[in-house]
Structure 1
Amino acid sequence: MTSAEVAPKRRRLSAEDRRAQIISVAREVFIEFGHSAALMRVVAQRANIAEPFLYRHFHSKEDLYQAAVLDPLDEFVDGITAEIHELAQRSDIPRAQILEHFHQLFLSQMAELAPLIVATLYSDSQDGADLYNRVLLPRVREVSGEIIADISGRDTSTFDLDVLTKALIGVYFGLAVENAIVGGVWDSRRLGHELATLFANGITPDRKRRSAEMAAGSAIPIEPFTLELAPSLELATRPRVPREERRELVHVAAREVFVEVGQRRARTKDIAERAGITEAFMYRIVDSKEQLYRDSVVVPFAEGVAEFADRVKVLSAITTGVAFVQAFNELSLRFFAVYGQIGGLTLLSEPVEGRQVFNDVLRAPLAQLEKALGKGSGIDPDTVDLQVARRAILGAQCVIALDGNGAVDPQREKELARGLTVLFTGGIR
């Protein structure tokens, strides 16, 4: 072997640099697999080190997760709280500018955080719920409670802090997730400016008219969306069921299993048991698990989005302003309570398939929804990108609805919708 053929010597990293490298690799692995499915062995392989050597730096996967995910989140939240509070003390900076900076700071972090949350939620729903409830929600609630008065100039008693916190997470999450689905460029500065423009003065024009409409409320009746998410025990245990009813029962059972464990981990044996039949009998009704997934999850979600867009269009034709926003919030909460979980499954559990469904099936109804949202609320499309507005508002509504696990009672639903209406239309002082 000549000197030119000698392999270059591997550079030995300092302990500090090696730790930083491991943390960077681990973050990518957690994003790809989620917390539960991520393996220390995979982290070691990608960091090009032996697994025992990895344990010299981190004693467990939990230690590594803390360093790669939770510590950066804590540092970010602490930093943004201090920075926004400091800006709010200055009389030379308008509140609208502080609001814009706040959005930009959060958006810069959400671009990295959203894929991690998605991976966690759709690899292990319980693990994802724990990350959301134990880590993300309390930290964002903390920063919201401390600086919302600084940003808005309004008394915090005028807000439902829980609704505000979840709506904030939803706004950023909605933007980040759809951007990831379509593969767009993530420009946190531009998006922060769009959000500040959208919300600084409230999404409906004419502040005096808003106040009167808010006091009057909305009397528009909102019909529920209907989609069975769990099989009927009575039907599943009945000895003889007509073929079409049995097929629908299998679809409902499949939908429940897919939502619980995801497309990859779902077993046809478990689906058949939920439907009250044998696996062999089920294959007389369906051809494959892939067909079952499409018929029980993807198709119903696409039909639900189309119905949702049509109903928003009707709303925008019969009402405008705050009354439209309130009715739209109620309608959206009902939609996401029913379709939110299978929507997330369709779009996020398998990214390539999700992107195809989005492009082939959802673009048209979402574009229709954007136009109706602009018409009903009064958002000026020359001032605010309606696509950004739609992503942000639907994101907030989705997080609020799914937080209730699809079981929000009608009275609470109206309260939540009204809380969102106040946030969307109130603006800053």
Structure 2
Amino acid sequence: MLQVSYIRENREQVLERLAVKNFKQPGLVDEIIALDEQRRSLQVTSEDLQSKANASAKQIGELMRTGKKDEADTLKGQTSAWKEEIKKLTDELASAEEELQQKIVLLPNLPHSSVPKGLTPEENEVVLENGAVPALPENALPHWELAAKYNLIDFELGVKITGAGFPVYKGKGAKLQRALISFFLDEAEKAGYNEVIPPLVVNEASGFGTGQLPDKEGQMYYINEDKLFLIPTAEVPITNLYRDVILKADELPVMNCGYTPCFRREAGSYGAHVRGLNRLHQFDKVEVVQVAHPEKSYAILEEMSLHVQGLLQKLGLPYRVLRLCGGDMGFASALTYDMETWSAAQQRWLEVSSVSNFETFQSNRLKLRFRNAEGKTQLAHTLNGSALALPRIVATLLENNQTEKGIKVPEVLVPYTKFEWID
């Protein structure tokens, strides 16, 4: 959530940056500024009347002690009128604050100055490409056919049990999945992250804190009886560990990681590009989350990007890094890098990670602060990234490593899988 004071003091810059994000309601900015002015005016008037009422209370006492009852009664009448006005102002102030809150949460985060303009994924900026794209024979199979051939994943069985988008991993497919999770967690620990196992359901306050609500409620699974949401990513519960927390400056950066299943309705996703593991309703992911000092958050974002790239390099997967354009960015993000791996059988790039800096957007909602060198509280910056999301990693590993003999398991995973080939 943007800070009202920043919007008020930087109106033109706010409008300019929102335009980069293709925000469709620029008039909302002036509505927020007007509501803030109304709120502040009501606050000043109320405080002025309260000050007069407090002073009159003392004066009434003095008049009563000196026998000036008539004057005291007159002043009592004036004080009562002031108190009635204060009550009315208090109600108006509460209403103005509620309306201001309802409107300000509709504003997305402002994109960083380096974010390119653009509306679609095709306008994202390619930062770098790494690794050679494998050349497969013409009879190479996509991962969903490989999964069936080697009895790794049963998509139809998942449909029978639950529905489309809930695959069943079997045999070496299940072991490969578990191996990747363990590998990603071990690499995160080596990088300095502390592992946590968070809840898989969160309340509305948690969803609001990280910006999923009210922006993405239609994409989240909701447990109506308990008013809880299944998590779309471990980012939500892990970041919310620090809701309403004041950290010490020397505790920054806070580095946590966690493995969780993730649940997304993916409403409106259809077509060939969602086949197999390309887009699921339930999938596994290892998430890395940091709470950082504002002066260091962008250096940390680059470090997080390099961490994810290191995982892809160790797996031997060709990849590229994209800086997302304004129109393709998430609601809460100030700057996002996407990492994509090349699917040799599908002949296209598949997103496997997003690494984002949210600056103070989440921490303002979370009231997540730290005490700076001057002893004053200040909003921290929050960052997170997929390290990594498993479905498309599995897809590209199967497709890119297929041979006539079978599917070669990356060397770094063999200590976890205990097998070198899927055959």
TM-score by length of 2: 0.28
Which has more radius of gyration? 2
Q: Would you tell me which structure has more helix in proportion to its own residues?
A: 1
Q: Would you tell me which structure has more strand in proportion to its own residues?
A: 2
